[in-house]
Amino acid sequence: MLTTLSLALALTLTAPPADAGVTFVPVRVLDVIELEDGGWAVLLAEKGTDTVLPIFIGGTEGLAIRLRLDHQVTPRPLTHDLLEDAIEALGGTVVRVEIDDLKADTFLGRVVLKQRAGKLVTLDARPSDSIALALGTGAPIHVASSVLERAGLDRKTLRSKQRAREPGTKTESL
């Protein structure tokens, strides 16, 4: 039987250490869009700038983010709902979500939790899952400034790329 203590111990033992030297920038979810190839992209916008970070994700994760952006509730809990409920039932809270690296065209992320006793636990997580969890809990989303520098686009560039691919496509949300 899984107890709160055994889960907390397992999470602590598997949690990667926080990177003290990384500078993070707050972002918001601008939109999630379905692509022609069936994939999805979540668009994160750096607050106060024209920088947008597109992260390409799977269809299931894209739909979960879309549902949360639209404040829609499903009749049965989705994976992100279950995780949110489990964290709460075990006395934890989601402190923040971090997208902290980009390796071989893959974004890496973490979820930072606070246990009932106040101890912070950091979990390795896919950015798409982390973003869906943050949207449900209201936790802030942060991106490493180095990731934004490497993969961020300004809105004008993103609009022009979208227009070149899909003439007549609406880009007002960008």
Mean pLDDT per block of 10 residues along the chain (174 residues) reads: 37 46 93 89 91 93 94 92 94 97 95 95 96 96 96 79 52 44
How far is residue 52's CA from residue 43's CA, in Å, rounded to a whole number?
A: 6
Predicted local distance difference test score (pLDDT) of residue 159: 66
Domain boundaries, the chain: 21-165
Write down the pLDDT at residue 94.
97
In the numeric block, which tokens belong to residue 114?
A: 């606070």
The string of DSSP letters for 88-117 reads HHTT-EEEEEEEEEEETTEEEEEEEEE-TT
pLDDT at res. 162: 58
For residues 108 and 170, what is the distance between their CA atoms, to the nearest angstrom? Answer: 30
Answer CATH for 21-165 from 1.20.120.420, 3.30.565.10, 3.30.300.130, 3.10.690.10: 3.10.690.10
pTM higher than 0.85 for the full model? no
Backbone angles phi, psi at 43, to 5 degrees: -110, 115
> Parallel, antiparallel, or unpaired: how do β-strands 40-46 and 51-57 relate?
antiparallel
Return the number of other C-beta atoms located less than 10 Å from residue 75's C-beta. 4
**Angle, vertex CA 45, rays to CA 158 and CA 39, nearest 5:** 60
